[in-house]
């Protein structure tokens, strides 16, 4: 393992190295890599792990070899280790972990030793072995070790010890136990060699997908994320990253499914924002295809998850306006401004208010149009057309003085021929009103100003 992956493996073997050499991992065992049940018994996560287990084996092994015989002892050891691996797989089916080590086999040896000590009436040895078993389980709880393997090994060792406790040890060829272990090891690690290219964990598959995605290869990223989910269907990270990749490919329905699944598995803010975002982007894509009804539904789904999402409110407002529901559109854009009172959101609301005002003016509802224009100006006063249209409505209701003020603001923004012409008309209307009211001085001032206005050159062509 050190030669394969470097000296860092001495202190703590990486998951990738452990998997390549045959660590136990429920999803791959389910796929048929049964050699992992055995190979993992001979792997260790670091030098300290190996030394501790070796010390335990040296402490209890000689006594068990004497009591049961070498071949039986080796059989109990291997069978207990296999039982521990199977127990680990069954326990971690829902939440797979990478596990390795001889602890399951050692626990089986401890249990078999305790059975024989009780049978042979050696109470001090029995207490010591039982204490050792309890300490192993307690240590497993403290450090998060694989207690499923410990318990499986203990159970198997106890049963095998009971079955073999009355048998007298028989002499065996000196190399038989070693040959048995060597044969098991060779078979197990041959399986590791043959499956080394299929030794992914879900986490490593996700990491590979992230590398593909960062390089722009979204198709390969999707394949990697799908492999991760084949291994661990409840991996929220894999669902989330797959959703991102599918969204970038424009596969919105599939992306929404995986974002939803990630949020169901881990309902945190990150996953909720991802789900909201994909609904909004799906709505944008639908709107671009001309399916306004579906786009509105997508934006509403986003807002059902997060009513503070500015993009969803803004896009919903524009979509409602396009569908003919201008009142609904204005309400959504008002909410947008409440959430994000910046120039962009205010300009969007002002634009929709102007559209509504123009429609009201066409229906001869000039007083209502004036209210809309003024509200639009309160959000965005930089658009000369709004001031210009307000002036027209003011002239329609007989307010030439206010119309002049509006047109003066329009002229400051764009000194066009159209603005100047209407301003001249508004000044003349105000002149007539002043004359009728007996304000001859004001009327003469307006006459002079209207005349000068016609003679001055236009400084900005405008539109």
pLDDT digits (tens, 9 = 90+) for 161-189: 999 888 777 766 778 888 889 999 999 99
Q: Where in the chain is the domain with CATH 1.25.40.10?
A: 365-463
What value does the mean pLDDT take over residues 361-366? 94
Q: What is the 3-state secondary structure (H, E, C) of 336-360?
A: HHHHCCCHHHHHHHHHHHHHHHHHH
pLDDT of residue 143: 79
Burial 185-210 (b: 16+ CB within 10 A, else e): eeebbebbeebeeebbbbbbbbbbbb
What tokens were used for 112?
């078999």
Rg over alpha carbons for the chain, rounded to the nearest Å, is 40
pLDDT digits (tens, 9 = 90+) for 311-350: 999 999 999 999 999 999 999 999 999 999 999 999 999 9
CATH, range 2-197: 1.20.1540.10
pLDDT digits (tens, 9 = 90+) for 279-304: 999 999 999 999 999 999 999 999 99
The span from the CA of 462 to the CA of 419, in Å, is 9
What sections of 289-342 are H helices per DSSP?
A: 292-305, 310-322, 326-339
What value does the mean pLDDT take over residues 188-209? 92
Contact yes or no for 400/422 (Cβ under 8 A) = no
Q: Where in the chain is the domain with CATH 1.20.1540.10?
A: 2-197
pLDDT digits (tens, 9 = 90+) for 136-158: 899 888 877 889 999 999 999 99
pLDDT of residue 439: 81
pLDDT of residue 458: 57
pLDDT digits (tens, 9 = 90+) for 56-108: 999 999 999 999 988 899 999 999 999 999 999 999 988 899 999 999 999 99
The span from the CA of 374 to the CA of 393, in Å, is 11
Q: Domain 365-463 falls in which CATH fold?
A: 1.25.40
Contact yes or no for 380/386 (Cβ under 8 A) = yes
The span from the CA of 279 to the CA of 276, in Å, is 5
The span from the CA of 191 to the CA of 379, in Å, is 71
461 pLDDT above the threshold of 50 = no
């Amino acid at each position: 393992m050190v030669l394969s992956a470097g000296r860092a493996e001495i202190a703590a073997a990486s998951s990738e190295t452990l998997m390549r050499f045959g660590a136990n991992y429920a999803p791959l065992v389910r796929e048929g890599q049964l050699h992992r049940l055995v190979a993992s018994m001979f792997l260790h996560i670091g030098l300290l792990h190996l030394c501790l287990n070796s010390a335990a084996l040296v402490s209890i092994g000689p006594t068990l070899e004497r009591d049961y015989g070498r071949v039986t002892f080796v059989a109990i050891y291997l069978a207990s280790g296999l039982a521990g691996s199977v127990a680990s797989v069954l326990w971690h089916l829902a939440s797979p972990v990478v596990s390795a080590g001889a602890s399951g086999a050692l626990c089986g040896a401890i249990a078999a030793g305790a059975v024989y000590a009780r049978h042979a009436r050696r109470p001090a040895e029995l207490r010591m072995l039982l204490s050792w078993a309890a300490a192993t389980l307690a240590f497993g709880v403290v450090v998060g070790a694989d207690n499923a393997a410990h318990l499986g090994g203990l159970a198997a060792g106890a049963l095998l010890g009971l079955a073999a406790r009355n048998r007298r040890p028989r002499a065996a060829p000196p190399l038989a136990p070693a040959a048995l272990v060597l044969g098991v090891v060779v078979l197990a690690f041959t399986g590791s060699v043959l499956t080394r290219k299929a030794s992914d964990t879900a986490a490593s598959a996700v990491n590979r997908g992230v590398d593909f995605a960062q390089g722009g290869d979204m198709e390969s990223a999707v394949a990697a994320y799908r492999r991760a989910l084949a291994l661990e269907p409840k991996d929220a990270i894999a669902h989330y990253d797959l959703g991102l990749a599918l969204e970038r490919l424009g596969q919105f329905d599939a992306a929404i499914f995986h974002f939803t699944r990630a949020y169901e598995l881990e309902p945190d803010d990150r996953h909720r924002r991802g789900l909201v975002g994909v609904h909004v982007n799906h709505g944008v894509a639908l709107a671009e295809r001309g399916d306004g009804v579906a786009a509105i539904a997508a934006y509403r789904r986003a807002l059902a998850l997060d009513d503070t999402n500015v993009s969803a409110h803004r896009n919903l407002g524009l979509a409602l306006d396009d569908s003919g529901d201008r009142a609904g559109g204005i309400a959504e854009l008002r909410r947008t401004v409440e959430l994000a009172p910046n120039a962009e959101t205010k300009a969007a609301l002002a634009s929709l208010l102007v559209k509504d005002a123009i429609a009201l003016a066409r229906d001869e509802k000039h007083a209502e149009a004036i209210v809309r224009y003024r509200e639009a100006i309160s959000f965005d006063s930089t658009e000369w057309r709004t001031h210009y249209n307000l002036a027209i409505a003011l002239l329609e209701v007989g307010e030439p003085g206010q119309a002049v003020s509006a047109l003066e603001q329009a002229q400051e923004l764009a000194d066009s021929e159209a603005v100047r012409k209407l301003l001249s008309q508004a000044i003349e209307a105000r002149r007539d009103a002043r004359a009728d009211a007996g304000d001859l001085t004001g009327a003469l001032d307006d006459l002079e100003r209207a005349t000068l206005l016609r003679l001055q050159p236009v400084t900005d062509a405008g539109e």
